[in-house]
Amino acid sequence: MKKGINTRCLHIDENEENFENYGSISYPIYQTATYAHQGIGKSTGYDYTRLQNPTRNQLEKVVANLEEGLDAFALSSGMAAITLLMELFKPNDHLIVESDLYGGSIRLFDNISKKNGIDFTYLDCTTDDIEKHIKENTKAIYIETPTNPMMNVSDINKISKIAKKHNCILIVDNTFLTPYFQNPLNLGADVVVHSGTKFLGGHNDTLAGFLVTNNEEIQEKLRFLIKTTGAGLAPFDCWLILRGIKTLGIRMEKSQQNAIDIANFLKEQDVVTDVFYPGLPEHKGYDIIKKQARGFGAMLTFNVDSKEHAYEILEKVRMIKFAESLGGVETLITYPTTQTHADVPEEKRLKNGITPRTLRLSVGIEDSKDLIDELKNVFKSLS
């Protein structure tokens, strides 16, 4: 019988008689680069940590289990994961990509992948006619849902049917919701991407990235690529992510409740003109996310009434940190225009809704009253 997700954050195929690793409750860090053999053909199953490492293998099993995938691949960062994924494609291949993506993904596609001969069409995958833009050489559709930072919600199952009809693979970045709230593979996706730096790690203390698939052909290709390119996650970082995943469920629940409280607070503030949070019933993607996910997450974006007020808010917050990341236990506020999306052309940013008045919150696990009190005080002090 399948265990609950909180249990699976802690245990994999274990029973009371399992006392491997001397009974260690914390999975050991195998901090070694290479492994000794007793003779020809007498391997322990491990040869060289670029190829495989017990700590990394344990982490990959945990993440694959949470995403209900066939296999997972732990890499040195979220961008390393996406870079490896792009090695599945060759010159003249075409990808349809969500236009409102994390700026680092767009930077990679526009400056590295295009240079390598891959063609991209950017669409609003929540409203545009995806099928109309599919070409003979289209190999994949790549989405985030919710998107970063405008929190647009795509219908994964609907897009997966389009992809399968045209023999494309569907790639879903699941960083914002994590496998605790959403499992894209069960909705028809072929590959799931994570920046493990964010909610999976949860403590702003390490970098990591993941690819998860339920497709055997893709699995074989990625296993070859990860050992060939050498971007596998180091043992100590694997241990940090394993530690973080243990509390994934309780962190996501607390952060989500705080996000709901803050979203409702922001709606009532005169200085705030728009609130983008998929847990608000008026959000255009509310019905879709209710259908395909078990929660709404801890990310929200809002616009204020002027660029000057946006700058003041960033300068005056104290407990809420002005920093570029997300998914940790601390609440962070980010300015996409100069941080996460600084390398995205201004015309594209504005078209996606990212203006100089846009702020993004990654809501942590503090007491929501304290977070709201700080925002109240900051808003009152605006000139």
What CATH code is carried by the domain that includes residue 10? 3.40.640.10
pLDDT at 137: 98
Q: Are 77 and 195 in contact (CB under 8 A)?
A: yes
| Torsion angle of the four alpha carbons 188, 191, 195, 201, in this order, in degrees rounded to the nearest 10 | 80
Question: Catalytic: 198?
Answer: yes
256: Cβ contacts below 8 Å, ≥ 6 apart = 181, 279, 295, 296, 297, 298, 363
362: domain CATH number is 3.90.1150.10
Q: Which of 27, 30, 102, 335 is catalytic?
A: 102
In this prediction, residue 16 has a pLDDT band, given cuts at 50, 70 and 90, of: low
* pLDDT tens digits, one per residue of 27-78: 999 999 999 999 998 889 999 999 999 999 999 999 999 999 999 999 999 9
pLDDT at 205: 97
CA–CA distance from 44 to each of 32, 40, 48, 52, 71 (Å)?
Answer: 14, 11, 11, 11, 21
* Domain end call among 219, 245, 271: 245
* Domain end call among 191, 220, 245: 245
336: Cβ contacts below 8 Å, ≥ 6 apart = 103, 149, 349, 354, 358, 359, 360
State mean pLDDT over 185-197: 98
Question: Catalytic: 376?
Answer: no
Share of the chain above pLDDT 70, in %: 99
Q: Which of 3, 35, 46, 50 is catalytic?
A: 50
pLDDT at 77: 98
Between 14-28, 270-284, 285-299, 324-338, the lowest mean confidence (pLDDT) is in 14-28
State mean pLDDT over 186-215: 98
Average predicted confidence (pLDDT) for the chain: 96
Q: What is the DSSP letter of 221?
A: H
State mean pLDDT over 238-266: 98
Question: Catalytic: 142?
Answer: no
Q: Which of 71, 93, 155, 173 is catalytic?
A: 173
Q: Which of 139, 198, 254, 349 is catalytic?
A: 198
* Domain end call among 205, 227, 245: 245
* pLDDT tens digits, one per residue of 75-134: 999 999 999 999 999 999 999 999 999 999 999 999 999 999 999 999 999 999 999 999
CA–CA dist 275, 264 (Å, integer): 9
Give the position of tokens 């001969």.
117
> Which structural domain, as residue segments, surrounds residue 288?
249-380
Residue 296: closest CA among 313, 312, 281, 314: 281
pLDDT at 17: 60
Question: Catalytic: 277?
Answer: no
Q: Residue 117 corresponds to which tokens in the numbers above? A: 């001969």
